Structures are given as C-alpha cells and as structure tokens.
Structure 1
Amino acid sequence: MNSTLLLTAFSGSQPGPTLLGVDVVWASTMLVAVGIFAVMVAIYGALTVRDPMAKRVKALNDRREQLKAGITASTAKRRARLVRKNHTADKMRTFLGKLQVLQDSQIKEVQQKLAQAGIRSKDLAVAVIFGRLVLPIVFGGIAALLIYWVDMWPDLTPFKRSGATMAMLILGYKAPDLFIQNKRQKRTDAIRKGLPDALDLLVICAEAGLTVDSAFSRVSKELGRAYPELGEEFALTSIELGFLTERRQAFENLAYRVNLESVKGVVTTMIQTEKYGTPLASALRVLSAEFRNERMMRAEEKAARLPAIMTVPLILFILPVLFIVILGPAACSLSDAMSGGSLGGGKP
C-alpha cells in the first residue's frame, strides 16, 4: 500500500505549476543540469591549459637547424641530403604542371598568405592550388549526385537545383582560400594587439644596452604567453639575425610574414637604424605611442558601435527572459488561483 502511494505521488498525480504548458519544475531541473554541465566543462578547460609556445618553440628550433644547414653545408649534395622532400607535393606539382595551371607568381602569392597565416611549409602552396582544382569537382559531384541522381529534395525547382549545384562548385573553389584567410586574419589581429607592448619592451631593451638580436630574443620570451603569435615572429627574427649573412633580409622576412602596415613601418625603422646608425630607442618610442593611440581609437570605435549591435540580441534573448522572470511567478499564482476557484465553484 505504501509503495502504491509513493508511486502515485511520483507519477505526477499532483502536477506542479505550469507556464505556457511546460512544467516549471521539470524545466528548472533541466536548466540546472545544463548549468552544472557548463561549469564542469569550464573547470576542465581551466585545469587542462596547455603551453601555447610548446609547438612554436619546436618549429623555431627546426628553423634554426635549417638555417644552420644552409650555412654550414658546403656542397649541393650535402644540402640535398639535409632537406627532406615531400613526395606528395611533388606528385601534385607534376600533375598541375602537365595541365599547365601552375605559375610561379601564383605559388609565391599563396606561400606568402600561408606564411602570414602562420603555416611555415611552402609545399602546402601546391596543395592549395591543387585543392582549387579538385574540390569544385568533388563538391559539385556530390551535389549533383544528391540533387539529380538520388533526388533527395524532390520539391526543388530546376532553378534551385542549378543554383545549389553552382553554389557547391563555388564553395569548393573558395574553400582553401577561405580557410587561409580566416587563419591569416586571426593571426594578424593577435599580432596587432600585442605590437605596442612589444615596442615598449624593445625600447627598454635598447636603453639597457642590448643588441638588436638579443632584444628581439628577450621580447619574444616575455611575450610568449600573452601574445604567442608575436612572440613566435620575434623569436624567428632573432634567429635569422644571428644566422643570415644580411641582417636587412631578416627584417624584410618579418614584414613578409606579417600582413600589417605597422610592422612594415617598424621594419623600415630597424633597417634605417642599422644603415645610418640613428637612435633606435627614440624612434621605437614614437612608433609605440602611435600604435597605442591607434589601438585606443579602434577600441573606442567598437564601443561606439556596441549599442546598435546589442539591439537585436536584447530584443530576441534578454527581454523575453526578463519578462518570464518578472511575470512568471505571478502567472503561476494566477493560474493556480483560477484553477482552485473553478474547482471550488463547481461544488454545490
């Protein structure tokens, strides 16, 4: 008997308050479960933080070994043994060469975009060009198979079928460029944020009497955790300053790898300092002040756009929740009162 009463009590014979046909207790329980899961994910992410410079330091050490090999190797035969060839890239290059669609200017352009995106392998430039040729065929073939052969969407008109197929073809052609552009933009933004702080540290190192390559190495270590992308570029520049025969080439490589006009200005200043012996600290201090003002202006511009950007989320997400929180308890109480009154009024 007791077990029957307990089952009856937990089976919902006495339902709790409802709001818009949804049980409030059940909905709150699900929200609490989602919140607990989010907290656990946040704790896991906080406890498993990895060093962002581990892979970058390994890549820089590989670059150091490559520079050593290029300087110390005395014969072309020894250099050929030190450099590893990518056979897959060679096959793709041969295939594209037979089709006469591979141009040196095109390869150099893609290689620069890859370098600005933080991808050091030059063989991937051939893979990107090969992807532009193959991916439209793959995506377009899959779309044609699903739309025309399998007829997965029979309600589509002929115009929509043709438009969907053309959209997949364009997506296949643009997919490699979109991927590289996304990585390139994120890396450029990260370097732009840390550049004023890096110049301040370079000024301090220059006033302390450090050489240029030592200053770049010290700044790369200090910026390793806060701005790993900029720290990687400065570390690579420091390595090239120590191994390349022309120091000017190391600075030009920095401007080649970073898609920022401000970095090109820093590189021009460093080259003029090396050539004419002008004071480095004063020039870098002026550049740092300019870049810091530019960063403040960008922040003020984003803050000015914030009210207009927040209007749509405010209407769609914040105001409905606010109305539910304010009017929900009153609606539940009113619903209970009306249901109790209707039940009481039915009695003789």
Structure 2
Amino acid sequence: MLYLSFFFTVALAVYTVFIHREEKSKRHKHRLSQVKGELDGLSMEAQDEAAVKSESALGNLLKNLFRPLRRSFTRRLQGWEETRIEHKLQQAGRPFNMSPIDYRILQLSLLILLPVLFGGYSFILGVGIGFKILFILAGFIAALLLPGYYLKLKTRQRSRFALRELPDVLDLLTVSLEAGLGFDSAISKMVAKKEGVLAGEFRRCLEEIRLGKTRREALTGVKERLVLDEMKVLISSILQAEKLGIGLVQVLRVQSHEVREKRKQRAEEEAMKAPVKMLFPLVLFIFPSIFIVLLGPAAIQFIQVFSNNKP
C-alpha cells in the first residue's frame, strides 16, 4: 500500500504538470496556426480541422484506454444530466477539451484513486483505525468536491479575463461600425485582430450564424457561456437595439464607458479593502517579529540583571 500510494502520488503530480504545460503549448500553437492560416488564406474551418488532427498522443492514448468505459457512460448518462454538465463545461471554457462523458469518468477515477491515496498515507503515518477511516472519508469528500470546484475556478478565471478584455473589444467594434461595417463584419474584424476569451466566444458566435442560427440565438449563447453581468447587459442591449432599430454605435459607446466606470469603481473598492486585509498579517506576523527584535535584547538584559542581583 505504501509503494502504491507513492507511485500514484508521483504519477498524478507528473501528469498534472505535464498536462498544464501541454495546454499552454497547445494554446500557443493554436494561435500560431491561426496567424499562419490567415497568411496562407486558410479558412477558419480548415484551421480548426488542423487543430483537431494535432491533438496530443497522450490524449489519444487515454481515449483509447477509456473507450469501453465511455461506451458504458454514454448508455447510462441521462439527457438532462448531460445538458447540465455540458453547460458547466462551456462556462469553464471546456478544460482539456472534456466532454460530459469525460467529466463523469474523471469523477469516477478520483472516487477510486483519492481514497486509496489517503488510505495509503494513513498507513504511512501509522495512525489508529479511526483516523484511517477518517482519511479514507476525506479522500471520498475530496473526490466529490474537487471536479466541481475546479470548474468553478476556471469559470471565475474566464470571467476575469473576459472582463479585462471587454473595453478593448467594445472599442474595436465601435470603430469598425463607425467605419461602415455591418455588425457581423465588425465581429469578424475583431476576431481577426484579438485573441482571448471574448474573441473565442464571438468566433463561435460567427460559426453558429454561418451554420444557420439566428443572430439572437448565437448572441444569447455567448451570454449563457460567460458568467459575467457586464456581458449579459451588453448582449441584452445589442438585442434590444436591434429589435427597436437603434444605432449600435451609440449603444456600444455607452456600454464601453459603463464598463470602464465599473472597472474603476471595482478597483477603488479593492483599494479600500486593502488596509483591512493587511491588518491580519500585520497583527499575526509582522508585529510579533518587531516586538521580538525591539524588546528581545531589553528583556534579556533585565533577566541578566535580576539574576545577578539575587543573593
């Protein structure tokens, strides 16, 4: 059990580091392939097809290993549950290109692996049977909570990136519309010039429009995939302006100003919270160290003086 726990821990750590580096490398290669495709005149569909063909050998190996399990989950996973997981994965940016079946397989793997690891650690520590049971229960709880927590973490990260990119995207759309381009053409121009969360979502929006969805349905999909209040207000304003025949340039300019004002107010709010957040480290770590440095020598001298004065 000791060697098994050590092996699984090292393997999990190595795989985590490797897959993180591979994901970053894949994003860089995808961006380079987009630039090369634009220079060579390749279409977006051809670029996406090339990106699919260049998937890692490790990912293909894992898919082949878990293929029987995938078939079993495909038969058992209900439609409403698959839709719910798919929605969460889309909001998180589909990490590691996971499907709902892959997510369920990950949950099952963690439910088997983490209790074994925690149980192995309890044997290493040599604790009693009660603590061993607690360790195994902690492994089960961690296996149940970690996948959902990871998706929430990725969703918040995407929301922060999208909020950071939103003012520049709105400015670029406004300039394109003022230059005489239509809204779809302005989005296409923005997607070609920008890279990031918003550019990826609007790129998907354009693809859905080309595949037959209405503009309202495609933009509503963008609003649902991004957990961001500013984005919901923006999409609702665009759809309302399109319905009422209002000019989009003024709407986008107002939205850009409001987003920048909210970002400024949010920064001021965080600055106001900073002194309160700094209070606890000051009291717990910095002040005791200062007291030890300042009062320590004096305390030692007092002790020496009183000890020497004793009869």
Deviation for aligned residue 1:120 = 7.4
Structure 1: gaps of 5 or more residues? 1-48, 70-83, 332-348
CA RMSD in angstroms, aligned pairs only: 4.0
Distance 2:104 2:26 in 1: 33
| Deviations 1:180-222 (CA, angstroms, capped at 9, x unpaired) | 2222211111101221332232222222211112211222344
What pairs with 1:159-174 in structure 2 (closer than 5 Å)? 160-174=131-145
* Residue of structure 1 in register with 2:113 after alignment: 138
* Residue of structure 2 in register with 1:91 after alignment: 68
Deviation for aligned residue 1:116 = 1.9
Distance 2:28 2:237 in 1: 28
| Deviations 1:260-286 (CA, angstroms, capped at 9, x unpaired) | 232222222333344443211122222
* Residue of structure 2 in register with 1:280 after alignment: 248
* Residue of structure 1 in register with 2:124 after alignment: 152
Distance 1:56 1:112 in 2: 25
Question: Which of residues 180, 195, 201 is equivalent to 1:233?
Answer: 201
Deviation for aligned residue 1:232 = 2.4
Distance 1:196 1:291 in 2: 7
Deviation for aligned residue 1:247 = 2.4
1:241·1:247 contact (CA, 8 Å) conserved in 2?
yes
Q: Which has the higher contact order (CA 8 A, sep 6+)?
A: 1
Identity fraction in percent: 28
Distance 2:188 2:289 in 1: 52
| Deviations 1:55-74 (CA, angstroms, capped at 9, x unpaired) | 257589899428999xxxxx
Do structure 1's residue 312 and structure 2's residue 287 form an aligned pair?
no
The aligned length equals 260
TM-score by length of structure 2 reads 0.67
* Residue of structure 2 in register with 1:103 after alignment: 78
| Deviations 1:128-158 (CA, angstroms, capped at 9, x unpaired) | 11222331122113333443xxx32234572
* Residue of structure 2 in register with 1:65 after alignment: 45
Q: Compared with structure 1, are the counterparts of its residues 241 and 106 closer, same or farther at alpha carbon in structure 2 (3 Å cutoff)?
A: same
Question: Which of residues 165, 174, 191 is equivalent to 2:162?
Answer: 191
Q: Compared with structure 1, are the counterparts of its residues 87 and 104 closer, same or farther at alpha carbon in structure 2 (3 Å cutoff)?
A: farther
SS of equivalent residue, structure 1 residue 152: helix
Distance 1:89 1:124 in 2: 13
TM-score by length of structure 1 reads 0.61
- Which has the larger share of helix? 2
